[in-house]
């Protein structure tokens, strides 16, 4: 039985990962400062005798190091980060403290304690604007959002710590991840907007933004399958080949909420907000070669998520 | 007359830049925490009525922002960083606080005050190990040292702040920079070792490590010529085509110190220390196209620097 630490384990993706690691037979130590995550997300694992939760800001390197030493941690999953990109567009300091500082703190603690295995949740936003070209793992990074910059910077730090300390790190660059427990993003926003005003859905941007959405259940399967196989630092794009447009998502939300008469009003801008990437495509050949592929297409993931988000609100 | 801020202006390169900017006709506000820089380096500009010095840790975002506002800063040169790569190999936290945090602090202050122009001193270490291939500005970054990671991370942050705030940034990736006021690196080390023991010079690594060394006078000329021309974020490799081997440097130091009988003892490793890059080459076509080129070859820069360092010690 491995002792695994999940930093940011009470968040959207982190909590699904805790569920899966418990099912996988690990002893799971979940750390979260509960600034964005919630204990509600841990409802299903909390009673398990192999699950332990502690409220901690993993940016507090001293506490984290003591914790890792005390619990004899074998493996660290680092999913602690800001998840609200529009919030940090207004206040970049959020990314510095929540996304970038936590990475240096975790890496320093691993180095000092001697933990040699890491999973890191990165993002497609590290690529920046690549137009219609499908981004590959070995492309030069070119983030344009503070969020993308903090994640790219985290990757640079991980590479150096791996080299200097013989750490093996599995890094996933996530597409847009959706599913139950979602707290941000276009589906969540549309549901909230139509709840507040069932007559009209105002959309940021012209609706043509098209991105791949991967369902969290598919993603977690990939993490469980691949997290232990890295040799040095190993980076994977993790997503789906298919994409969904903002206008498709708006119509799905309207339909599932039973509001077919609601008007959808689009903006005129190609992007939803500054730092947004209007179109995005992943090259997935590397992760495909491992045998993994998403079961749900992007549109299927959107459909399922709309239902999950609505079920939760009822 | 422009009001320019030089962060890290009392350091090796920063102080030469202050000299040049004063000569260029700017009003120069030099900030330095004097942790690595010294007031001695500012001996020649201190008396100039357009030069102002304040001791400040530019990682202190609040003080920095107040300073920029108060002094009506038009342009920021960011040269504040750790400069002792071997020290941070032992303690990566040095890079986090001295090299990376300072960048976020400077960018945040610029954003809040509305300063739109930046020069950033980056490094060839952002490329990591590229073997005999000449590194180009648009290559994927792959740093293996904490120093390289902190500089690469700073570049990612600069890219996002430029995009989000219409800042223009000129970024130079420096080769090894040498010249008077040098405080670290192989020339400095060899002089100190032969001063302590004039009979034997012990060299880290087998002496075959070969890197391009650019003289600080050449580099400063390039910064003064190009710092104001960026449109968005503009990155230049700044160095020389030629290189010098560690064994050449050892022999030059021995000769200039008048110790021809001193024995040079080489190690057996290809690299001097973990995180070191044994061979390195820049592609300089981009900076060459601007009309700039170094006047001194790598070997000439080494020869002149050995003399300068020795003159200083006498």
pLDDT in tens, B147-167: 999 999 999 999 999 999 999
The pLDDT tens digits for B68-96 are 999 999 999 999 999 888 889 999 999 99
CB-CB neighbors (< 8 A) of B96 in chain A: 104, 108
> Are A160 and B108 inside 8 Å of each other by CB?
no
Burial class (CB in 10 A: 0-12, 13-18, 19+), A241: middle
> Are A275 and B139 inside 8 Å of each other by CB?
no
The answer on pLDDT for A52 being more than 90 is yes
How confident is the model over B121-139, as a mean pLDDT? 91
The pLDDT tens digits for A92-114 are 999 999 999 999 999 999 999 99
CB-CB neighbors (< 8 A) of B164 in chain A: 89, 92, 144-146, 274-275
The answer on pLDDT for B59 being more than 80 is yes
Q: In Å, what is the CA distance from A3 to each residue of A25, A76, B166?
A: 10, 9, 46
CA neighbor of B145 nearest in space, from B63, B80, B85, B70: B85
> Are B160 and A108 inside 8 Å of each other by CB?
no
Place of tokens 């949740």: A121
The answer on pLDDT for B313 being more than 80 is no
Q: Is the dihedral of CA A297, A302, A305, A307 positive or negative?
A: negative
The answer on pLDDT for A277 being more than 90 is no
Of 1.20.120.1200, 3.20.20.100, 3.40.50.720, 3.40.1410.10, the CATH number of B3-177+213-238 is: 3.40.50.720
The answer on pLDDT for B314 being more than 70 is no
Contact A164/B at CB under 8 A? yes
Q: Which long-range contacts (CB under 8 A, 24 or more apart) does B18-23 make?
A: B18/B42, B18/B45, B18/B51, B19/B44, B19/B45, B19/B220, B20/B220, B20/B221, B20/B223, B20/B224, B21/B77, B21/B224, B22/B48, B22/B50, B22/B51
How confident is the model over A253-263, as a mean pLDDT? 94
How confident is the model over A14-27, as a mean pLDDT? 97
> Are A274 and B149 inside 8 Å of each other by CB?
no
Question: What confidence tier does A303 reach under pLDDT thresholds 50, 70, 90?
Answer: very high
Contact A139/B at CB under 8 A? yes
Q: Which residues pair with B264 in a beta bridge?
A: B201
Say if pTM beats, i.e. exceeds, 0.90: yes
How confident is the model over B51-64, as a mean pLDDT? 97
Return the pLDDT at B160. 97
The pLDDT tens digits for A163-184 are 999 999 999 999 899 999 998 8
Contact B138/A at CB under 8 A? yes
Return the pLDDT at B133. 85
Contact B159/A at CB under 8 A? yes
Residues 6+ apart with CB under 8 A from B159: A128, A142, A143, A144, A149, B233
Helix (H, G, I), strand (E, B) or coil at A9: coil
Question: What confidence tier does B104 reach under pLDDT thresholds 50, 70, 90?
Answer: very high
If one counts every other C-beta atom within 10 angstroms of the C-beta of residue A309, the result is 22
The pLDDT tens digits for B188-203 are 999 999 999 999 999 9
Question: What confidence tier does A61 reach under pLDDT thresholds 50, 70, 90?
Answer: very high
The answer on pLDDT for B273 being more than 70 is no
Return the pLDDT at A129. 86
Average pLDDT score over chain A: 94
Within a 13 Å sphere around the CA of A309, how many CA atoms are in the beta-carbon half?
29
Average pLDDT score over chain B: 94
Token pair, residue A97, equals 């403290």
The percent of residues in chain A predicted with pLDDT above 70, rounded, is: 99
Contact A249, A300 (CB under 8 A): no
Return the pLDDT at B99. 96
For the B179-212+242-280+296-313 domain, the top CATH level (class) is alpha beta
The percent of residues in chain B predicted with pLDDT above 90, rounded, is: 85
Closest residue to A164, CB basis, from B140, B156, B274: B274
Return the pLDDT at A2. 95
How many residue contacts between A and B have a Cβ separation below 8 Å? 109
The answer on pLDDT for B271 being more than 90 is no
How confident is the model over B224-246, as a mean pLDDT? 95
The pLDDT tens digits for B1-14 are 899 999 999 999 99
Q: Is the dihedral of CA A87, A93, A95, A97 positive or negative?
A: negative
Closest residue to B138, CB basis, from A111, A138, A140: A140
Domain A3-177+214-238 matches domain A179-212+242-281+295-313 at the CATH topology level = no
Contact A161/B at CB under 8 A? yes
Question: What confidence tier does A261 reach under pLDDT thresholds 50, 70, 90?
Answer: very high
Instruction: Please give the span between the terminal C-alpha atoms of chain B, in angstroms, as a whole number.
Output: 38
Mutate to test the interface with B, among A104, A173, A283 (most CBs of B within 10 A): A104
Question: What confidence tier does B175 reach under pLDDT thresholds 50, 70, 90?
Answer: confident
Q: Which long-range contacts (CB under 8 A, 24 or more apart) does A229-234 make?
A: A229/A170, A229/A290, A230/A117, A230/A168, A230/A169, A230/A170, A231/A168, A232/A162, A232/A163, A232/A168, A232/A169, A233/A158, A233/A159, A233/A162, A233/A163, A233/A168, A233/A169, A233/A171, A234/A168, A234/A169, A234/A170, A234/A171
The answer on pLDDT for B279 being more than 80 is no
- The ipTM (two decimal places) reads 0.91
Three-class DSSP labels, chain B: CCEEEEECCCCHHHHHHHHHHHHHCCEEEEEECCCCCCHHHHCCCCCCCCEEEEECCCCCHHHHHHHHHHHCCCEEEECCCCCCHHHHHHCCHHHHHHHHHHHHHHHHHHHHHCCCEEEEEEEHHHHCCCCCCCECCCCCCCCCCHHHHHHHHHHHHHHHHHHHHCCEEEEEEECEEECCCCCCCHHHHHHHHHHHCCCEEEECCCCCCEECEEEHHHHHHHHHHHCCCCCCEEEEEECCCCCEEHHHHHHHHHHHCCCCCCEEEECCCCCCCCCCCCECCECCHHHHCCCCCCCCCHHHHHHHHHHHHHHHHC
Return the pLDDT at A1. 85
Counted residue by residue, chain A has a size of 314
Higher pLDDT, B73 or A280: B73
Backbone phi, psi, residue B289, to 5°: -65, -15
Contact B167, B110 (CB under 8 A): yes
The answer on pLDDT for B40 being more than 80 is yes
Closest residue to A153, CB basis, from B138, B153, B164: B153
Helix (H, G, I), strand (E, B) or coil at A191: helix
Mutate to test the interface with A, among B153, B169, B173, B275 (most CBs of A within 10 A): B153
Structural domain boundaries in chain A: 3-177+214-238, 179-212+242-281+295-313
Return the pLDDT at B65. 98
Give the fold, CATH level 3, of A3-177+214-238. Answer: Rossmann fold (3.40.50)
CB-CB neighbors (< 8 A) of A139 in chain B: 140
For the A179-212+242-281+295-313 domain, the top CATH level (class) is alpha beta
Return the pLDDT at B157. 98
Question: What confidence tier does A222 reach under pLDDT thresholds 50, 70, 90?
Answer: very high
């Amino acid at each position: 039985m491995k002792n695994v630490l999940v930093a940011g384990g009470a968040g959207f993706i982190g909590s699904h990962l805790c569920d899966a690691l418990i099912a996988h037979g690990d002893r799971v130590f979940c750390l979260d400062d509960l600034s964005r995550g919630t204990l509600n997300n841990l409802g299903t694992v909390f009673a398990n005798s192999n699950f332990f939760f502690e409220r901690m800001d993993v940016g507090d390197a001293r506490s984290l190091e003591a914790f890792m030493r005390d619990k004899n941690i074998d493996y660290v999953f680092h999913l602690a980060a800001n998840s609200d990109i529009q919030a940090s567009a207004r206040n970049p300091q959020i990314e510095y403290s929540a996304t970038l500082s936590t990475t240096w703190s975790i890496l320093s603690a691993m180095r000092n304690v001697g933990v040699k295995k890491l999973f890191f949740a990165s993002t497609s936003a590290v690529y920046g604007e690549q137009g219609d070209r499908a981004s590959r793992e070995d492309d030069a990074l070119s983030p344009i959002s503070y969020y993308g910059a903090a994640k790219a910077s985290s990757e640079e730090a991980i590479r150096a710590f791996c080299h200097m300390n013989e750490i093996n790190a599995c890094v996933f660059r996530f597409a847009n991840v959706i599913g139950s427990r979602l707290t941000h993003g276009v589906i969540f926003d549309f549901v909230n907007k139509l709840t507040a005003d069932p007559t009209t859905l105002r959309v940021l941007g012209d609706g043509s933004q098209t991105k791949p959405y991967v369902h969290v259940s598919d993603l977690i399967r990939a993490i469980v399958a691949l997290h232990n196989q890295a040799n040095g630092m190993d980076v994977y794009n993790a997503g789906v080949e298919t994409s969904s447009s903002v206008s498709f998502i708006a119509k799905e939300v309207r339909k599932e909420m039973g509001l077919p008469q609601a008007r959808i009003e689009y903006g005129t801008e190609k992007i939803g907000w500054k730092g947004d990437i209007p179109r995005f495509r992943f090259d997935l050949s590397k992760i495909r070669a491992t045998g993994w592929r998403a079961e749900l297409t992007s549109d299927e993931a959107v459909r399922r998520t709309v239902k999950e988000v609505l079920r939760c609100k009822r």
